[in-house]
Amino acid sequence: MRLKPFTVVSGPAAHVPRANIDTDVIIRIERLTTLTKDDLGPYAFEALRYREDGSEDPACVFNQPAFRNAPFLLAGDNFGCGSSREPAVTALQAIGIRCVIAPSFGDIFFSNCFLNGVLPIRLPKAQIDALASACANGEPLTVDLNALSIQARGGLTFTFTVDALRREALLQGLDDIGLTFRDAALIAEWQNSDRLRRPWAWPVA
């Protein structure tokens, strides 16, 4: 699957410091029974975004004009914990988020981000708080995946690390299958040589 490449992204950063936001908070399971991934946007974080009568809660950062469709989410500890729900990532994408920065993540959510073209970055809480202060009024944050750097107002700069193969996949907009297809010629070469070595392992259809 071809994904949108992630190279340099700039824009507002919504700050949701609450810890242990699980995948059911990101997108409720019942929404996945009838909706396609393109329709998940209105239901992402719905418990935080809407009042009981269905109206928007103006206190929620996602409803504030400066942060609608913000490409960055500054989150709390253990973000994306809970069930292994891949649409939690696509729900974030549906409201514009391309990068989540948190002190820690649920393991499966962390992996699902890379599979769907979202960059998860682990940073210490103190650095995230500094970024949140620098971007509190919608000032832009910039993440450069080539340089592995984060920049904000006032010259605030942090660096981060990403697994080399996952970084390459994001830069090129490739999922795991796309990465494999890049080596199609090598795979075919191995298959041909293996047919000669072990013909019994390659039955003719």
* C-alpha pair distances (Å), 28 with each of 32, 43, 123, 152: 7, 8, 27, 33
Q: How far apart are the first and last CA of the chain?
A: 28
pLDDT recorded at residue 97: 97
Nearest residue to 21 (alpha-carbon basis) of 86, 72, 77:
77
Q: Stretch 147-162: mean pLDDT, rounded?
A: 96
- Tell me the C-alpha distance between 108 and 1, whole Å: 19
> Domain ranges in the chain?
8-201
Over residues 144-153, the mean pLDDT reads: 97
Tell me, what's the pLDDT at 135? 97
pLDDT at 181: 65
Q: If you classify domain 8-201 with CATH, what class do you get?
A: alpha beta
- Residue 1 banded pLDDT, cuts 50, 70, 90: low
| Mean pLDDT, the chain, integer | 92
Q: Measured between alpha carbons, how far is 205 from 101 in angstroms, rounded to an integer?
A: 50
pLDDT at 176 over 90: no
